[in-house]
Amino acid sequence: MSPNQQNDSASLPFAWWLPYTVSGVGIALSIVIWYALVDDLMMHSIKHSYPWIILTLGVSIAILVGFAIRLIQLTHQRRKSLELVNEHFKKEIADRIHAEETKQKLEKALLQGQKLQAIGTLAGGIAHDFNNILYAIIGYVEMSREDVPKNNIIHKNLGKVLDACKRGQDLVARILAFSRRQHHDFKPLHIRETIEGILGLLKPTIPASVDIRLQSMIKDCTILGDQTQLHQVIVNIINNAVDAMDGEGAIHITLNRIAAHDEALYPFPHIAKDLSYCKIDIIDTGHGMDQSTIERIFEPFYTTKEVGKGTGLGLSTAHSIVKEHQGEILVESRLGHGAKFTLLLPEHEGE
């Protein structure tokens, strides 16, 4: 018997040699009985055919029993083989379904990225032209104010126009920051230290009914980045979380590290998988978002806040900043179950 057959037979209900042994023992017993009967008849000088009938019957039964045992073994072996094939097909189907879902997510993320890029380019062009118009308005308003006495109501009204123009310039600056990638002098930043500094500045301005906690799963994580921009990203997300909770709830921030080629990087299609990343999770207990809101959350000028309470540029700017840092931002949420923002930023391993 070959080694492969021996390995296969290890999973059988009986040892491979059992049917052959049973048949052999049965045939041997039949021969012994036949020999004893023939010897007894010869001693009495009797001739009869029934010893041969018993021999034939005994050998036949032994062979049939051995055959039946072997048939049971083969049936069991075939059932095991079919079960293995079935499990293999189930696994292959599950892998194909997972691959198809991953493909759809990647295509969706790519389409969203292209959409944001197109909107950013369009917004940048409009903002640039609008900024030029604002400069002309500001210039003429300032000249007009010089021709009017300071205690005149017109002077005060023109001052309000200037204030509105300056707010417009601030808005244009944010649009331009979103629409184009600027060169920044990135420096090593310690993420834990940076987040602790941000929370130290934010806590006095946040209602006491909002509990903010930082949990670091690692000692620290270092990135190359712009501290001011990173402040802007985290502050925007936390402020949105506070608004979503109507001033009451909890914000849980966790800091962790994801090693290169880790499976946790697969949901992020636009990042290099051969790098290690600092991972920041910001989880709130707010009212959450539906799927249509999640799909548009990073679009410029999109907001669910009341008129006058939001420009719709906070998260779009945060998305642009994270991209400039070669990172990725992802949001998960369900209505009534809060929201979770995940930031991935490449880890800096240099001195």
Confidence of residue 5 (pLDDT cuts 50, 70, 90): very low
Number of helices and strands in the chain (H, E) = 8, 7
pLDDT at position 341 is 94
Q: Are 260 and 275 in contact (CB under 8 A)?
A: yes
The answer, as to whether pTM is greater than 0.75, is no
Six-digit token string for 302: 């999109």
Write the DSSP assignment of 83-129 as a string of letters. HHHHHHHHHHHHHHHHHHHHHHHHHHHHHHHHHHHHHHHHHHHHHHH
Give the pLDDT confidence of 261-291 residue by residue, as tens digits.
Answer: 888 888 777 788 888 999 999 999 988 888 8
pLDDT beyond 80 at 348: yes
Question: Which residues touch 123 (CB under 8 Å, ≥6 apart)?
Answer: 175, 178, 179, 300, 301
Is 3.30.565.10 the CATH classification of the domain at 187-346? yes
SS3 347: strand
- Residue 156 DSSP code: H
Confidence of residue 150 (pLDDT cuts 50, 70, 90): confident
Confidence of residue 7 (pLDDT cuts 50, 70, 90): very low
Chain mean pLDDT for the chain: 80
